[in-house]
C-alpha cells in the first residue's frame, strides 16, 4: 500500500502538482481486538496541506476524527469550509472535543485523549445502521 502511495506522490512531484495539493491519507477504522472494544481502536491520519512542501513531518495528539474530513477537503478546495465545521487544522491538542466510535452497532463516546481507554464511555446499543 505504501509503495503505491509513494509512487503516486512521486508522480505528483514530477507533474508539478505536489506543492499545491492537500493530501489526506487515513484508514477507515481502527484495529479491533476480539469481539468487543476493550482498548482504544485508533487509525492513522496523515495530512499534507497545500503549500507546505519542505515542512518537517509533525506529530499531533489533537482529538480529531473523520468528522473533520469534509471541512478539511472543502477548505482546501474553496478556501472556506462552507459550513462543514472545523478542519483537522482548527483543532489543537487538549481541545475539549467529543468524538463517537461505532462498532457492531455499539456506540462509544470519547472525551479527551482517545489513546487512553479511560476516556471511552459505552453509550448504548444502536437498533440498526439507520441510527448512525
71 pLDDT exceeds 60?
yes
What would the pLDDT profile of 80-114 be if each residue is shown by its tens digit? 767 889 999 999 999 999 998 888 788 899 998 88
What would the pLDDT profile of 116-130 be if each residue is shown by its tens digit? 999 999 999 888 766
Q: Which residues pair with 23 in a beta bridge?
A: 48
Give the number of other Cβ atoms within 10 Å of residue 30's Cβ.
16
The mean pLDDT of 40-49, rounded to a whole number, is 86
pTM of the model: 0.77
Eight-class DSSP state of 51: T
What is the pLDDT, as a whole number, of residue 65? 87
Q: Which three cell numbers stand for residue 121?
A: 464511555
What is the pLDDT, as a whole number, of residue 29? 65
Helix (H) or strand (E) holding 124: strand 120-125
Q: Is 114 exposed, middle or buried (0-12, 13-18, 19+ CB in 10 A)?
A: buried
Q: Above pLDDT 90, what percent of the chain?
A: 47
Give the number of other Cβ atoms within 10 Å of residue 118's Cβ.
8
Q: Is 123 exposed, middle or buried (0-12, 13-18, 19+ CB in 10 A)?
A: middle
* Confidence bin at 31 (pLDDT 50/70/90): low
Amino acid at each position: 500500500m505504501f509503495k503505491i502511495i509513494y509512487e503516486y506522490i512521486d508522480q505528483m512531484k514530477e507533474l508539478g502538482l505536489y506543492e499545491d495539493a492537500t493530501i489526506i491519507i487515513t484508514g477507515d477504522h481502527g484495529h479491533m481486538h476480539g469481539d468487543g472494544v476493550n482498548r482504544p481502536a485508533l487509525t492513522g491520519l496523515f495530512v499534507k496541506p497545500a503549500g507546505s512542501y519542505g515542512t518537517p513531518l509533525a506529530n499531533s495528539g489533537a482529538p480529531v476524527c473523520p468528522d473533520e474530513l469534509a471541512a478539511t477537503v472543502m477548505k482546501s478546495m474553496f478556501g472556506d469550509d462552507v459550513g462543514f465545521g472545523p478542519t483537522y487544522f482548527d483543532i489543537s491538542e487538549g481541545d475539549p472535543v467529543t468524538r463517537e466510535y461505532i462498532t457492531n452497532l455499539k456506540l462509544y463516546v470519547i472525551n479527551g485523549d482517545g489513546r487512553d481507554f479511560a476516556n471511552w464511555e459505552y453509550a448504548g446499543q444502536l437498533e440498526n445502521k439507520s441510527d448512525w
